[in-house]
Structure 1
Amino acid sequence: MNWQPIAFAPFARDLELAVIDAEGPHALVFPCRRILRGWIKSETDEQIDVHPTHWREWTHPASADLSFVSTFERGSKL
């Protein structure tokens, strides 16, 4: 599945999130769920302080397709 803008992220589904932080753009290594007050880790229901830019369906624990990284490096939108 292609990366989607975070504004369209669904609630109550396991998602893979893309973030941009001090280390640059990358995908989180654990599934997350959107809640009214932000985001939680799917496996623990622990609320996390994260500001994702994009999302896609969580497919497996090591979905290491970082195709969005090269998109960011080219200065394009996802």
Structure 2
Amino acid sequence: MWQPISTAPFDRDLELAVMDRDGPHALVFPCKRVLTGWIKSATKERVGISPSHWRIWEPANNEF
């Protein structure tokens, strides 16, 4: 279940998405919320998007 981005916890692996009229468009890698925005969990690289929703990252559901 997608949650509003304003409720996202800090320092936890999350799946991020941007919602539009077609539904959620999710990133394919886990991210973490930090004081300055969002980073990729694995590399600590800044993620330059403005997500609208989040949910807990579930690795089994995100593998191709």
Report the TM-score, using the length of structure 1 for normalisation: 0.69
Query: Structure 1 residue 61: deviation in Å?
Result: 6.0
Please list the CA deviations of residues 19-68 of structure 1 after superposition, one character each: whole Å capped at 9, or x if unmatched.
Answer: 258xx84000000000001000000000111100000000016538xxxx
Structure 1 residue runs without a partner (length 5+): 65-78
Give the number of the structure whose alpha-carbon radius of gyration is greater.
Answer: 1
Report the TM-score, using the length of structure 2 for normalisation: 0.83
| SS of equivalent to 1:47 | coil
How many residues get paired?
61
Question: Of Structure 1 and Structure 2, which has the larger fraction of its residues in strand?
Answer: 2
Runs of 4+ that moved beyond 2 A: 61-64
**Structure with bigger RCO (C-alpha 8 Å, 6+ apart):** 2
Q: What is the RMSD computed on CA atoms of the aligned residues? A: 2.0
Structure 2 residue runs without a partner (length 5+): none
Structure 1 residue identity aligned to 2:31: C
| Paired-residue identity, % | 62
